[in-house]
Amino acid sequence: MTASEHESGATPDPSHHIDGQIEELMTHYGGALLRFLILLVGDRDAAEDCAQDTFIRAYNNLQKGRPVTVHWLYKVARNRALDELQHGRREQTQSESLGDLVALPSPVSAVTASVHRALGQLSPGDREILYLFSVDRFKTADIAVMLGISPEAVRVRLLRARRRFRLAYGAPS
Amino acid sequence: MTDHSTFEEMVARRDELSAPEEAALRDHLLVCVACKHDAEIYAEQDSLLRMHAEAEPVDERAIVVRTRVRQAIGRRQTHGMPILRHTIRALPVAAVLTIGAAFALHSYLPTGHSVARPNPVSPTQPGPRGTPGAKTPATPGTTMPKTRRWRVSGVRLLRPDGNARVDRRRAERVTHRRWPGIHIRKVVLAHVRAPNMPAVNGRLCWVVFGRGRLPAAGHGNLAVFVDAHTGRFVLAAASQGP
């Protein structure tokens, strides 16, 4: 998924049938959304549930004739993930520190493991903003729509997240 | 005039800068060692984060999600078609009646096989028919007595003797992961008695009944046992019920 795709392919073609549209959304954004959710909630099964709920809500929206954009998908997925995190806290099934991300599948390189460890030390808020900007390559204006904050606030948060990640990763200052 | 802090912020989001912004930043980097260093670090961060994301294999999970969404949508569409909906609702009833008739017939056969088979020992359940001390005889013609007892390939499911540490949804998730496409009909918490299956014998399990693909036998009823303490899949068995 590239930045140009975000710009051009955000809204599905309305001429398609709703089933086709939801398939298209799942094909294009399913993997990226799952990665985002896994990073956010730190639990692969819970991330699957969140992704499933997100696409079902997208289907409901399409049925009502409302558009489903990539911003909408990420926003709903993120809110669902936050609910999951709060639920996890209540049930204490999550580890106490949300920084404890789910274990990486082996084998992984030492570098990837270090990145994983560093990400684990960040808050979900820092992780999500780094992921959305660096991995999914959304622009700060798009992220602002998803998070419901101003672009300026996104920029400030991005800079802080980068600094914290830098410290956690152990880069020379 | 742009101050240093503005350039720091621009360095952090360099990928999205406009051409004039990029030009201004480049001029600044020629004279500011700190910002130049930051720019290098952040560029490396981006590549590290992308590498980390790619290390997480999500293709199979994305397929599972797609399958589950399709099923949910399919179920909803089916529920929107009255004739088909009534037909589908009637199917489980027909199945229950058929199984009930089979059980009733089986119980009354004069072979002694079903009478001789020991029933689960539970203080909360009626004993086997004809056994001294039995509280209530099973009602002829019903599928099962009103106690929490099911027959699953010779496995006995008894009333749970404790509380589950994982919830029912987790058990369903585990089942869906093992059997993508399974149509779950019922989930029960039970204490399992299965002397021939040491893996589940004596365990408190979520038992997920459903219909799905069985190895080398097409589709059929199955029961999936998920440990109610750990949430781990234990085993699956071909099922007669519930």
Q: What digits encode the pLDDT tens for the residues A77-119?
A: 999 998 888 776 544 433 333 344 555 555 567 888 888 889 8
Mean pLDDT of A42-60: 89
Whether residue A16 has pLDDT greater than 50: yes
Task: State residue A34's pLDDT score.
Answer: 92
> pLDDT, tens digit, for every residue of B51-103?
888 888 888 888 888 888 888 887 666 655 444 444 555 555 555 555 555 55
Query: Of A24, A26, A27, whose CA–CA distance to A12 is shortest?
Result: A24
> pLDDT, tens digit, for every residue of A124-142?
899 999 999 999 999 999 9
Let me know if A15 is exposed, middle or buried by CB neighbors in 10 A (0-12, 13-18, 19+).
Answer: exposed
**Min Cα–Cα distance to chain B from A34, Å:** 7
Q: Which two tokens stand for residue B42?
A: 């952040």
Give first-to-last CA distance, chain A, whole Å. 32
Which of A131, A134, A171 has its CB closest to that of B41? A171
Query: Of A92, A1, A84, whose CA–CA distance to A42 is shortest?
Result: A84
Q: In this complex, do B69 and A59 lie within 8 Å of one another by their Cβ atoms? A: yes
pTM: 0.56
Residues of B in contact with A104 (CB under 8 A): 55-56
Q: Which residue ranges in chain B fall short of pLDDT 50?
A: 1, 81-86, 105-152, 241-242
Which of B41, B51, B61 has its CB closest to that of A166? B41
Residues B104, A94 contacting (CB under 8 angstroms) = no
Query: Of B213, B212, B215, B194, whose CA–CA distance to B203 is shortest?
Result: B194
Residue located via tokens 């992220």: A143
Residue located via tokens 């585990």: B174
How many Cβ atoms are within 10 Å of B61's Cβ, its own excluded? 22
How many Cβ atoms are within 10 Å of A1's Cβ, its own excluded? 16
Suggest the residue from B9, B46, B64, B69 to mutate for an interface test with chain A (most A CBs closer than 10 A).
B69
Q: Which two tokens stand for residue B114?
A: 């079903």
Which amino acid does the sequence have at A107? P
Is B34 in the A-facing interface, judged by CB distances under 8 Å? no
Which of B15, B50, B65 has its CB closest to that of A34? B65
d(CA A170, CA A114): 9
In this structure, chain B runs to a length of 242
d(CA B4, CA A142): 25
DSSP A92-139: T-S-SSTT-PPPPPSS--HHHHHHHHHHHTS-HHHHHHHIIIIIS---
Residues B209, B223 contacting (CB under 8 angstroms) = yes
Is A110 in the B-facing interface, judged by CB distances under 8 Å? no
Let me know if B161 is exposed, middle or buried by CB neighbors in 10 A (0-12, 13-18, 19+).
Answer: exposed
Task: State residue B94's pLDDT score.
Answer: 56
The stretches of B80-112 forming alpha helices (DSSP H) are 82-108
d(CA A110, CA B130): 68
d(CA A48, CA A34): 7
Bridge partners (DSSP) of residue B208 are B187, B224
